Amino acid sequence: MFRSSPGVIRTFCGRCGTSLTYRKDGEPDSLDVTTASLDRPEGFPPRRHIWVEDKLCWVSVEDDLPQFQRGGP
């Protein structure tokens, strides 16, 4: 467990350091999980794109999923 910023807790793999989860103190019912850290990430396809305003200029979002410039619902 690591507090990278005030009000945020991140967890990492104890062996390799891979980022596992992200949680805000004020949102106890919400937990972000790093999909690529799962054994079967293909079982959790994306449903939306968030923080689109921060994507790198060479990243192209070309599917029909909802996009949110910042964090989404």
Nearer to Zn ion, 15 or 70 (CB): 15
Instruction: Report d(CA 18, CA 10) in Å as an integer.
Output: 11
Distances (CA, A) of 1 to 15, 39, 47, 64, 70: 13, 21, 27, 35, 25
Site for Zn ion in 2-61 (CB under 5 A): 13, 15-16, 18
Quote the least distance from Cβ 16 to Zn ion, whole Å: 3
Quote the least distance from Cβ 6 to Zn ion, whole Å: 27
Binding residues (CB under 5 A) for Zn ion: these are: 13, 15-16, 18
